């Protein structure tokens, strides 16, 4: 519908010019522009009212901005307006319609300008998780927490869809690393995993609300982004069960079980690879530093019906190394110093202390002072705070520290295998034997499941049988036991590194063990009568000065 002013302008247009602008077929663009200029000059000369001036300005703008229709352009534009597949970007109501306009990327950039979709996604995901946690803690079982969680997860998913993923080989610049907290970046794989988690969590919130249709839909989206999401498969199966879609529920269960097997195998192989690398690192370091490693038997019998005795007898048989702790020495990340698991055993009181990481650069005296301070720490009353120290004897200056000597007749040469008693410490000859021993110890503790425990038990029984057979062949009977192993005393001013590198030390089960006695205790005297002391680990001069200070 035209306004009166528009009608007036239309009336002023020459019929020929109007025809040319409407049809676009009477002349080409240049001729049309020249005709417009001539018409404008004529109207400027004959201008008599405000309408003529406005029309002259409109023609000037059309000429300056190239608004003249080229041949066929006007019809083509009208056809696009009438085409159902074309929708102007401002009127698009879906992602598909926006893509048809050809300006999806530009509008996406404009929409996200000044916003950080990655940060918003993570924040709303956390809000959803917090709402779920609050809903579980709520005694009154208020469902509003789960409704809030659903809304937060929807918002998180909304922002996740606005993230532009990086390439897999993307290397961030220093500026991008600094801005990562406010503008996190994700690869396509990372983004899909996050979307799967968000949808699976949203399905869980709907489960709490018993919205089984939404549980089904969100779970489907979750497994679509990550087919290995076991929780999503479970929730999908549960939704189909509640909707009485029995076949779909069974399919979801089958898919979830297959996924669980793959994840379990993958995690187990990854864990085994990590342990292998750690044992290789420990073995390489021990070889370089001439630290001897050994092992003890992991089983006490070679057949099921063999008399094992009670637990105390087995523990006494294996001494203080039973059971295996499973800890490995490791290099500290902060200073690069190696730290070892260390067991302090107190036979006089049948007690012990375990230190998970004892640094090689630490003095024995410092650790002893921390565990057993002097009298001044107890307000001068001479009493310790150790419950089992009835006579208040465990003070660092009143204690003697030893380690047992194993494999004295074995010089470490692999050319001839030494025959040892089955209950004694055996030197680990190579990396393969170290790895097999460690994996068997884990399996026997149940870390790999009952089947692997049975396999490890069979292997250890075979090893024990071979040791018994060799010992009987050499000595005639298992009753021909070796003499009690000698010991070496440790000066408190020595460091752990000095102890580890002593020529008589073999570390059984990756666990360094110190035997501690009060000086004047009767058990100390009995111990030295049975175990000959053949030396002392003297501290280096620098270590001794440090201990004195």
pLDDT digits (tens, 9 = 90+) for 298-310: 887 777 766 655 4
Q: Report how far residue 500's alpha carbon sits from residue 345's, in angstroms, rounded to the nearest whole number.
A: 17
Does the structure show a pLDDT above 90 at 272? no
Q: Report how far residue 295's alpha carbon sits from residue 137's, in angstroms, rounded to the nearest whole number.
A: 49
Alpha carbon of residue 226 to chain centroid: 17
Q: Report how far residue 220's alpha carbon sits from residue 237's, in angstroms, rounded to the nearest whole number.
A: 10
Q: Indicate the pairing of strand 487-490 with strand 533-537.
A: parallel
| Least confident among 28-32, 267-271, 382-386, 511-515 | 28-32
- Report which listed range, 11-15, 336-340, 455-459, is most confident: 336-340
Mean per-residue pLDDT of the chain: 78
Q: Nearest-CA neighbor of 395 among 387, 383, 381, 404?
A: 383
Predicted local confidence at residue 105, as pLDDT: 57
**Assigned token pair, 232:** 């999503």
Q: Report how far residue 544's alpha carbon sits from residue 357's, in angstroms, rounded to the nearest whole number.
A: 22
Q: How far is CA 281 from CA 111, 274, 276, 286, 338, in A?
A: 52, 11, 9, 9, 11
Torsion, Cα 266 267 270 275, to 10 degrees, reads: -150
* Of 386 and 402, the one with more pLDDT: 402
Alpha carbon of residue 451 to chain centroid: 28
**Largest Cα span, the chain:** 136
423 C-beta neighbours (distance < 10 Å), count: 17
Does the structure show a pLDDT above 80 at 344? yes
- Give 80's DSSP letter: H
- Provide the pLDDT confidence category of residue 517 given band limits of 50, 70 and 90: very high
Predicted local confidence at residue 108, as pLDDT: 55
Helix or strand holding residue 343 (H, E): strand 338-346
Predicted local confidence at residue 22, as pLDDT: 41
* Chain segment 114-163, per-residue pLDDT in tens: 568 888 899 999 999 999 999 888 877 788 899 999 999 999 999 999 88
Q: How far is CA 244 from CA 168, 206, 210, 405, 516, in A?
A: 42, 17, 14, 70, 68
Mean pLDDT confidence for 234-249:
90
Q: Report the chain's C-alpha Rg in angstroms.
A: 42
Predicted model pTM: 0.54
Question: Tokens 């979801």 appear where?
Answer: 252
* Chain segment 20-63, per-residue pLDDT in tens: 444 444 445 567 667 767 777 776 777 666 666 666 666 666 65
**Assigned token pair, 45:** 């000369």
Predicted local confidence at residue 104, as pLDDT: 59
Whether the Cβ atoms of residue 8 and residue 51 lie closer than 8 Å to each other: yes
* Chain segment 425-463, per-residue pLDDT in tens: 889 989 988 988 888 888 887 777 787 888 888 888 888
């Amino acid at each position: 519908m035209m306004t009166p002013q528009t009608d007036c302008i239309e009336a002023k247009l020459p019929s020929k010019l109007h025809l040319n602008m409407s049809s676009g077929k009477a002349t080409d663009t240049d001729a049309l522009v020249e005709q417009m200029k001539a018409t404008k000059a004529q109207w400027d000369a004959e201008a008599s009212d405000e309408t003529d001036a406005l029309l002259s300005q409109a023609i000037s703008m059309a000429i300056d901005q190239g608004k003249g229709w080229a041949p066929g352009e006007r019809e083509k534009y009208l056809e696009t307006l009438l085409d159902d597949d074309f929708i102007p970007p401002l009127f698009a109501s879906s992602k598909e319609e926006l893509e048809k306009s050809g300006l999806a990327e530009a509008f996406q950039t404009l929409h996200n300008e000044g916003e950080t979709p990655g940060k918003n996604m993570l924040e709303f995901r956390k809000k959803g998780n917090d709402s779920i946690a609050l809903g579980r803690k709520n005694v009154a079982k208020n469902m509003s927490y789960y409704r809030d969680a659903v809304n937060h997860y929807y918002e998180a998913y909304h922002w996740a869809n606005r993230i532009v993923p990086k390439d897999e080989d993307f290397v961030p610049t220093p500026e991008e690393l600094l801005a990562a907290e406010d503008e996190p970046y994700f690869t396509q794989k990372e983004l899909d995993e996050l979307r799967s988690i968000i949808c699976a969590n949203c399905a869980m919130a709907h489960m709490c609300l018993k919205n089984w249709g939404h549980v089904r839909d969100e779970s489907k989206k979750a497994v679509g982004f990550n087919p290995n999401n076991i929780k999503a498969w479970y929730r999908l199966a549960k939704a189909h069960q509640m909707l009485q879609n029995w076949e779909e529920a069974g399919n979801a269960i089958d898919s979830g079980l297959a996924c669980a097997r793959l994840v379990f195998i993958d995690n187990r192989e990854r864990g085994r690879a990590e342990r292998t690398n750690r044992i290789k690192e420990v073995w390489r370091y021990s070889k370089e530093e001439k630290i001897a490693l050994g092992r003890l038997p992991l089983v006490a019998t070679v057949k099921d019906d063999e008399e094992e005795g009670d637990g105390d007898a087995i523990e006494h048989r294996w001494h203080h190394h039973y059971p295996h702790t499973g800890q490995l020495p490791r290099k500290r990340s902060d200073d690069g110093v190696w730290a070892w698991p260390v067991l302090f055993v107190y036979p006089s009181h049948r007690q012990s202390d375990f230190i998970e990481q004892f640094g090689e650069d630490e003095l024995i005296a410092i650790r002893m002072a921390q565990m057993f301070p002097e009298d001044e720490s107890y307000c001068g009353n001479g009493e310790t705070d150790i419950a089992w120290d009835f006579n208040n004897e465990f003070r660092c200056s009143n204690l003697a520290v030893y380690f047992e000597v194993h494999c004295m007749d074995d010089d470490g040469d692999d050319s001839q295998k030494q025959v040892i008693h089955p209950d004694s410490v055996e030197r680990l000859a190579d990396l393969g034997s170290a790895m097999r021993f460690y994996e068997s110890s884990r399996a026997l503790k149940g870390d790999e499941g009952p089947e692997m425990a049975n396999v490890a038990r069979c292997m250890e029984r075979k090893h024990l049988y071979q040791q018994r057979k060799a010992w009987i062949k050499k000595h005639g009977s298992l009753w021909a036991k070796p003499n009690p192993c000698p010991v070496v005393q440790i000066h408190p001013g020595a460091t752990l590194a000095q102890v580890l590198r002593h020529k008589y030390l073999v570390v059984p089960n990756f666990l360094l063990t110190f035997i501690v006695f009060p000086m004047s205790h009767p058990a100390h005297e009995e111990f030295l009568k049975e175990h000959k002391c053949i030396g002392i680990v003297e501290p280096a001069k620098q270590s001794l000065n440090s201990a004195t200070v």
